[in-house]
Structure formats: structure tokens, C-alpha cells
A and B are shown apart, each in its own frame.
Chain A
Amino acid sequence: MELNKLTAHQLLGLLKEGVIKSSDVILALKERIDVIDSQINAYVRKNEKIELSYVQNGPLQGLPVAVKDNICTLDLNTECCSKILEGFKPPYDATVISKLKSQGAYIFPLKTNMDEFAFGSSCENSCFGPAHNPWNLEYVCGGSSGGSAAAVAADEAIFALGTDTGGSIRQPASFCGVVGLKPTYGRVSRYGLIAFASSLDVIGPITKDVYDSALILSIISGYDPYDSTCVNLSVPDFTQNLSKDIKGIKIALPKEYFIEGLDKDVEQNIKEAIEVLKKLGASFTEVSLPHTKYAVATYYIIATAEASSNLARFDGVQYGLRINSFEGDSSLLQMYKTTRAKGFGEEAKRRIILGTFALAHGYYEAYYLRAQKVRTLIKKDFEEVFKEFDCILTPTSPTAAFKIGEKIREPLKMYLSDIFTISANLAGIPAISVPCGFTKKGLPVGLQFLAGYFREDMLLQVAYNYEQNTIWHKMKPKI
């Protein structure tokens, strides 16, 4: 039995029966990584020591979790795949890590690859080089949580944590043929997540199926006094109502997501998915989210403005890289400027400068304040639809994975690949991507469901019903 290929809930069954030990699972993953990760590059700092004798009691029984490189893990390097955080070992665990540990999870010491500071949609902006798509190594795995999605898809991880600011869990999940869930903003604590855009960032699971997604969400959710934006709501066991049927569920199809530019193969797969859901008793109605076309523009102002502020802390004083002087100038100012010039990659510099611009005197009202007002309109669009409908269905991305190198020189083109995922972050609502087929080239396609605030139960129920009536989640890349 190849344990690395199983889901968390399958393994938990075997662990409970005493048929296997968690160290067997960890060993299976280690062997898999040793064989294929030089090709995929889902993990960074591959020399970290893997604890094979890890034994832990608790509901997760020592199951390993792969963690994105921007989530703080005690005494374990957390570098956001950026040179500026080289060697950074956090003195504390993020709340999601503490929660997983307290449930008996083993925190896998190799962290997953990502776009530097989560800035990107392809994992090409990592200082460790890109992670590759397990379905075709010439293609991107998506981003920014590309390493997490690729690791799960290639059976180098059982499940993983990612983060989603504009689609960074859902888009790579869709490109790699796995399940990615972005919870409601405030459902999961952000304490210990190295901030990109604080009003948009969320942590969520990337898993092999919907059941695992529900299982992990139930563990990482909940109130945290260390994050004042984390809401004090009770957390249900999200695995409880998954198999409840979806007869009579009302699903909205926003016409703005079925437009020119939508890949024909993607469109075909989505249409077939709709037919499956109809047979299960869901009804579909076309609706309008009229401000959709402004979402990308709004996002790239708000996200970069917040990033420029959040990344001000990387100045060579408190942690990471420091370059003391430049061409004989050893002033404090020069130290800041040189450290940041050498420590940040191209995309990070571009976003910090765009964000600084949007907040600069004389521009603030024209850009940042305007974007925040448009954000209100985007939020209202969703609130209107959810008055009448249980959820919304869209493609996760207008295309399947693109080739490595295809968009990296054209930032705007890259930004537009997030066009279907960004709105959920601006509105703060939950969304999930589940596999729904393949393009003619054999690349996975993702189906996205969105629901109202804190209605992850609805998302998971619809996604589970769809998944259990299709075969896509069982498909494995031939690597």
C-alpha cells in the first residue's frame, strides 16, 4: 500500500485500527519526496531533518501536514521564499500550527514553495525557483500556494496549508487538480501568518478531497485573542453534514464569469459539472455581479497598498538579511535601501512601489480611497445574490495552467489570471475550488463555489455532493 497516496481520513482510519503507524506515513512521504521533488520543487530547504519516530496522540494521530513558507513555525525556518528573510526562525507558532499540533499533527519540517511573500499566480517568483505542475512539468503549478498544491497533487503530502489573498489557495488547487478552500475572512486566525494584505489574507487547507477539507477547516477555525480580526463564532464539525443531499439548493451563475477569454475546454468542463449538479437536484439561475470587471483593478490597489505598509518591517534591523553599506555610504538610510534592493525580488519591489504610489500624497484619494469604495460595491453585489441563492458557481480560473515563463515578463497579464478568484477576497466570503475535469492537453480544470459569510458548511456540502458523483478527485498525475 502506498500510504502517501491516501487521504487524511483514510489514513486516520488505518491509524485508529492500528494497521499502520504515523511514522510509516512520514517515511512514505520522505521516500516519495526523495524520488520526485528534484523535478517538482514543491518543497524548499529540502535538507531539514524529518523526524521519522514522531509519535503523537490526539485526533490527528501524528499525521504530517505540509506548511506554506509564510506561516510561522517555532524554531523552523519561515522565509516566505524571499532572500530578505533568509535564516528566519520564528520564536513562536502561528495559531493554526498550535491548533494542528494540539490535535496531534506532525508539522512537516520542509516548508512548501510559494511566490515570494505570496506575490504571484504561478510560483515563479520564489527565490528557490518555481515549483512545477505534477501533471506536466513544463507548466506552472499556480500560485502563490503552488508548492502546497503541487505537493498534495503529487502525493508528496497528505494535506497542506496555504494562504489566499486573491486566489492563492484556489487557483493552484485548480491548476493541480486538488481541493482548495478559502474560508471566510475572520474564520481562521492570521496570527503568525506573515502579512501580505491584512484585510484580504486568510489561511486555508489544500487537500485531496472535500472530506479532508472539512476535517482540517474544523481544526484550524475559531476565535483567537491574538488576532483581533478573528471572529468569536462557534465552529461546527464541518464533516457532519457533507452527505446531506442538495435537492432544491439554489445556485447562481454570474454572467460576468462566462465571457470571452474563457478557455473552451474549461467552459465545457464547467457545463458538464452543472449538468451533474442539476441531476442531484440543484437549480441554476443566471445572475449579474455588475462590478466584477472592476475587481482586479480594485484588488491591485488595495493589496499592494497594504503590502507596501506590511513589508516596511523588513529593513535589515530586526530579522533576516542586512547589507551594511553601499559604495562607501554607510548611513542608516543607505542600509535600508540596499538591504531592501538586494533582499526583495522583482515582483515584491514592483508591488511595494505600486502600493507606495497608491498611498502617496496626491494619489491617495484617486487610487486607494476610490478602490476601497469600489470594494463596497463589489461586496454589495454578492450580498444581493446571497439574499436569494445558496451559492454561486464559476470556473476557478479562465484557463488551465499556463507554461512556465509564459507570463512572467508581463505583470498585468499575470494579474488578470486571478480574475475569477479575487472578488471573494474583496468581499471576504468563503470559496472552494474542486477538480472538475481536464483540458485536451491533460491539465486539470477547477470548479469554484462561493457562499455567503460563514457558510463554509454550504460550500462543503455542495462540493462534496459534486465530488462523490464524479471521478476527478481520484485521478493522479503520472509522475
Chain B
Amino acid sequence: MISKDKSIDIKTVNYIADLARIALSQEEAEILSHQLKEILDFIDRLKEINIEDMPATTHILEVKNVLREDILRPSISSAKVLDMAPLKKDNFFVVPKIIE
């Protein structure tokens, strides 16, 4: 699916947009393909650096395993949560039918 030379052609843009669940018009895909190519060319400068043996930074403060006491505490009611939903029924979010 993704082209070998790692440029970002329209086919790739559409494939990625599909993964991201965003519908794109043909025109949007064309503009994005140019813009992303330019951005990725710029980002390619990261390839100059020797990063062998360099650990990846996932958390800046190296905080690990933050746990809390396993006790009940109040939370927002499901009614309040459902109030925010564009479509609901009884105690559920409603989505388009997914099983025939």
C-alpha cells in the first residue's frame, strides 16, 4: 500500500486518510500530497543524526508506574456522560447499524 520511496503520493494520502477515518475530496488529497511532501523533506534532516544506542524519550521525567489505592471514588454519572452524545437511547450511545 505504501510506496517504497517514501514520498507521499495521492494514493498514500488517501490510504492514510482512510486509516485516520477522514474523507478527503480529490482536491484536498492533491493539496495534502504536495504539502506533506514538503514537510517530510524537511523532516528528513533527522536522518543525518547517528541515533544508534540512543534511548527513546517517551516521558520527560521518567515517572514510572503511578498507582493509586484501589478504592471506590465518585465519578461522573452515566446520565451526564450520555447527555453530551449527539444520539442516545436509554443508557446507550447510538451508532449506525453494524451487524445485519
Give chain A's interface residues, CB within 8 Å of chain B: 88-89, 91-92, 185-186, 199, 225, 228-229, 231, 291, 293-294, 296-298, 300-301, 308, 312, 315-322, 324-326, 330-338, 340-341, 344, 349-350, 352-354, 356-357, 360-363, 366-367, 369-377, 379, 411-412, 415, 427-428, 453
Contacts and interface: CB of A to CB of B under 8 A. Distances in A.
Contact of A332 (B54, B57, B98): B98
B85 A330 contact: no
A131 B59 CA distance: 34
Interface in B71-100: 76, 80-81, 83-87, 93, 95-98
Contacts of A335: 95-96
Smallest CB-CB A-B distances: 8 pairs:
A428-B60, A372-B56, A322-B86, A228-B66, A341-B23, A337-B23, A373-B51, A319-B84
B2 A294 contact: no
Contacts of A367: 43
A12 B45 CA distance: 51
In this complex, the member of A315, A325, A330, A333 whose beta carbon has the largest number of chain B beta carbons within 10 angstroms is: A333
A173 B74 CA distance: 39
Nearest to B18: A337
Contacts of B21: 312, 315, 333, 336-337, 340
Nearest to B51: A373
A88 B84 contact: yes
Interface in B23-47: 23-24, 28, 32, 35-36, 38-39, 42-47
A332 B43 CA distance: 35
A340 B22 contact: yes
Contacts of B18: 337
B24 A412 contact: no
B22 A331 contact: no
A412 B38 contact: yes
A370 B39 contact: no
A92 B84 CA distance: 12
Given A336-B21, A349-B28, A356-B16, A412 B58 contact: no
B56 A349 contact: no
B46 A353 contact: no
A279 B47 CA distance: 44
A344 B24 CA distance: 11
B2 A317 contact: no
In this complex, the member of B6, B46, B49, B85 whose beta carbon has the largest number of chain A beta carbons within 10 angstroms is: B46
Q: Which bucket holds chain B's interface residue count?
A: 35 or more
Given A337-B21, A340-B23, A353-B17, A294 B45 contact: yes
Contact of A341 (B2, B24, B66, B97): B24
A336 B24 CA distance: 12
Nearest to A227: B66
B42 A320 contact: no
In this complex, the member of A186, A229, A293, A356 whose beta carbon has the largest number of chain B beta carbons within 10 angstroms is: A356
Contact of A353 (B22, B57, B66): B22
B60 A185 contact: yes
Contacts of A89: 84
Given A186-B61, A199-B58, A372-B58, A319 B86 contact: yes
Given A338-B23, A349-B28, A379-B60, A357 B95 contact: no
A367 B41 CA distance: 12
Contacts of A324: 96
A333 B23 CA distance: 10
Contact of A349 (B22, B54, B95): B22
A353 B45 contact: no
A338 to B, nearest CB: 6
Given A340-B21, A369-B56, A411 B45 contact: no
Contact of B23 (A326, A373, A379): A326
Contacts of A352: 20, 22
Nearest to B29: A353
B80 to A, nearest CB: 4
A91 B16 CA distance: 33
Given A297-B43, A362-B2, A320 B86 contact: yes
A331 B46 contact: no
Given A318-B93, A349-B17, 19 more contacts: A88-B84, A186-B61, A291-B49, A296-B42, A297-B43, A312-B21, A318-B81, A319-B86, A322-B86, A324-B96, A334-B96, A335-B96, A356-B20, A357-B8, A370-B47, A372-B57, A373-B57, A411-B39, A412-B39
